Amino acid sequence: MTTEQLKTRFKKFAIDVATLLIDLPKNPVNIPYSNQLMRSSSSPGANYRAACRAKSTADFINKLKIVEEELDESVYFMELLQHFNKQFDKRFLVLMGEGNELLAIIVASLKTSRERQNRKL
């Protein structure tokens, strides 16, 4: 997968999450969880773009770690929201699947980057 394709997937992920959040009922549980999910689901794309402009391998790894954390957080808040919004199960499952796929890609990239960094040392 190319850098541009991955950027596109991150952007689509953020848009698809936002589209689902617009459709959720507004209540005391959904509002704070949705706000947190909105932030965490858009952050990976922004941080991945920053990683692509990293000044060094260490900088790249640090930025990818943020992407990893934000994706994991996004999946967590989707799990919470799914619990309280069973009528949206299918949409949550699709988005959690994409979040986990993106997370796996980032974890693999981190592993490769760390191995390259260690060889240089």
Residues 9-67 have pLDDT tens digits of 999 999 999 999 999 999 999 999 999 999 999 999 999 999 999 999 999 999 999 99
What's this model's pTM, rounded to 2 decimal places? Answer: 0.94
33 burial level (CB within 10 Å; 0-12, 13-18, 19+): buried
From CA 37, how far away is CA 44, in angstroms rounded? Answer: 12
The pLDDT mean for the chain works out to 96
CATH number of the domain bearing residue 53: 1.20.1440.60
Half-sphere exposure for 107 (CA within 13 Å, toward CB):
10
Domain that holds residue 61: 3-120
Domains: count for the chain: 1
